[in-house]
Amino acid sequence: MGTAVGVAGTASAAQGPKPWRIGLEGPITGSQSSVGTGMLSGAILAAENLNAHGGLLGRPVKIVPIDDQADATVGVAAAKAAIKSGLDGIVGPYNSGVGAKTLPLYTKAKLVPIRLTSSTSTEGIGVTLQPMEDQIAPAAVGALTTWLQSKSVAVIYDSTSPYTVGVAAQVQASLQAQGVTVSSFIPITEGQSDYTSVVTQALSSHPDSLYSAVYYPEGGLIAQEVLAASTTTKCLADYASASTGYATAAGIPAAQNCPVLGVPAPSDFAGSAPLVAQYQARFGTAPGLWSPYAYDSLGVLASAAKKAHNLEQVPLSKALYSTKNFIGWTGSTTILSPTGNRAGNVVTVDAVDNTGALHVSAAWAAAVGFTP
């Protein structure tokens, strides 16, 4: 922000050029920390690879963690502190409810966010590489109808998030338009320790399938209740639950009984093996589901900065919105104007293996004709 943006480093020769400070906002601690830590590590790896090849415009890249804990109030305070300390760019946030509050702060500070939010309410505020709710909802409906052959669906959704509210409404409308009965449509408040009564209410409407549009701590608890009910009702968790933390929250048997809408696993992308191995060696763990998206977000930002010859808001925004066929870990990226969304995003159904890892469901892929 401010005077740091687009200005060549003037530090002494002993210190080297002044680093570009790129913020990474996400839930680095708290109930969704598996998402945030994976994002942070992905961004760090991307920065280290950029720096190993001369950095960005002759200056090294430094990742600045911004921990929002998946909470808008915490996120606003963290974003303001990071902006005050000096930022030249921003990747994140992940949660749409947080982004509704923090994204305007970044744009006011003359930054162009590379967001990981999926709510349509955040469209046009910077750009994103990950799917949006109007790309996710059709995939959910397709999985419920084509794969699970559902004629009736119960929907449970988090009423506190603009993404889950939006995607649940789209799923409900699309199912009804196709003649599928939405047998119940139940709002919940996140952060509860028990959802037994909610699942009991949903199952009492005798649906063929239950769809839970909630984030993964809640999604895991709901999956537990569905398994415990010994019901014939099938279960599908929404994209908001897609994380390595989903199986931890649910337990592997419950997570296997309730696959989750998501994206290909880091190792599912073509040509990903070297990056997966590099990540594993650097951090001592497998990449999270959103590590590749944070990695590529920094790559797209760097590519646009090279075209713009700086990170100033207006030329950088123009370069970002003209991104076409950027090839990264997650495949090819083309940014659409005026939304800033990514064209042709892939949304999958992911199954949990015996280690708790998510991968594209072979059964779903066969049913809908999906090929990686």
Report the chain's terminal Cα–Cα distance, integer Å: 40
Report which DSSP code applies to 354. Answer: T
- Give residue 210's identity as a one-letter amino acid code: L
Residues in contact with 154: Cβ distance below 8 Å, sequence separation at least 6, in sequence order: 182, 183, 184, 185, 186, 202, 203, 205, 207, 209, 210, 211, 233
Q: What is the DSSP string of 125-143?
A: SSEESSPPHHHHHHHHHHI
The number of domains in the chain is 2
The domain of 187 spans: 133-262+348-368
Same domain for 107 and 62: yes
Beta bridge partners of 23: 64, 90
CB 24 within 8 A of CB 64: yes
Q: Identify the pLDDT of residue 159.
A: 96
Same domain for 68 and 37: yes
What is the distance between the alpha carbons of residues 123 and 172, in angstroms, rounded to a whole number? Answer: 22
* 340, part of any domain: no
Same domain for 252 and 109: no
Same domain for 292 and 222: no
- Give residue 103's identity as a one-letter amino acid code: L
Written as six digits, the tokens of 204 are 């009492």
Same domain for 112 and 214: no
H or E stretch at 236: strand 234-237
Answer positive or negative: Cα dihedral of 161, 360, 302, 132: negative
Same domain for 33 and 57: yes
* 254, part of any domain: yes
Same domain for 357 and 243: yes
What is the distance between the alpha carbons of residues 322 and 21, in angstroms, rounded to a whole number? Answer: 23
* 227, part of any domain: yes
Same domain for 103 and 74: yes
Q: Identify the pLDDT of residue 30.
A: 94
Same domain for 354 and 273: no
* 343, part of any domain: no
Q: What is the DSSP string of 28-55?
A: -SSTTHHHHHHHHHHHHHHHHHHHHTT-
CATH number at residue 363: 3.40.50.2300
Same domain for 254 and 298: no
What is the distance between the alpha carbons of residues 52 and 342, in angstroms, rounded to a whole number? Answer: 28
Q: Identify the pLDDT of residue 191.
A: 85
Same domain for 151 and 79: no
List own/partner pairs for 338-344 with CB under 8 A and 24 or more apart: 338/124, 339/123, 339/124, 339/132, 340/123, 340/124, 340/125, 340/126, 340/127, 340/128, 341/123, 341/127, 341/128, 341/132, 341/135, 342/127, 342/128, 342/129, 342/130, 342/131
Largest CA distance in the chain: 71
* 338, part of any domain: no
- Give residue 39's identity as a one-letter amino acid code: M
* 76, part of any domain: yes
Q: Identify the pLDDT of residue 15.
A: 72
Mean pLDDT by runs of 10 across the 372 residues of the chain is 37 72 97 95 98 97 98 98 98 96 98 96 94 95 96 97 96 98 96 93 98 94 97 97 92 97 94 97 96 98 97 97 97 95 94 93 92 74
Question: pTM of the prediction?
Answer: 0.91
What is the distance between the alpha carbons of residues 198 and 73, in angstroms, rounded to a whole number? Answer: 27
Same domain for 117 and 31: yes
